[in-house]
Amino acid sequence: MTKKNKTPSRLAKAMLETAKDMRQAGLLDKEAYEKITMRHLGVKERAKLEPLSGDDIRALREKAHMSQAVFAHVLNLTVGYVSQLERGLKRPAGAVLALLNVIRTKGIDAIL
């Protein structure tokens, strides 16, 4: 990919075509193929992260049977920040929002 216009170069397009052929022939598994397309071509879109309310975050923590202190430790956050999230004073964003969405879809064991 060129840095200026973020479009795939001829070489990147050729590599994607070769990888696609290898995938169809069974020489490349799905995971490896998607890794190639993401890393070199930026083809795959980012996952959509759903916003979470304070009540949603509290429910995730309680479902995991964790105190705010333990939940904060697992997420590498402060207890005060977790408290603010649960009270709706702050809204999760970035990596915190991504982790909370992983916990919501796959459970707390996915990050332990």
User: Looking at the structure, do residues 61 and 99 belong to the same domain, yes or no?
Assistant: yes
How far is 101 from 111, CA to CA, in rounded Å?
Answer: 11
- Inform me whether the pLDDT recorded for 44 exceeds 60: no
Structural domain total, the chain: 2
Domain residues for the domain of 83 are: 54-110
User: Looking at the structure, do residues 63 and 94 belong to the same domain, yes or no?
Assistant: yes
User: Looking at the structure, do residues 63 and 104 belong to the same domain, yes or no?
Assistant: yes
87 pLDDT tier (thresholds 50, 70, 90): very high
1 pLDDT tier (thresholds 50, 70, 90): very low
How far is 43 from 3, CA to CA, in rounded Å?
Answer: 15
**pTM, two decimal places:** 0.62
Q: Per the domain annotation, does 33 fall within a domain?
A: yes
User: Across residues 84-92, what is the average pLDDT?
Assistant: 97
How far is 112 from 32, CA to CA, in rounded Å?
Answer: 25
- Inform me whether the pLDDT recorded for 6 exceeds 80: no
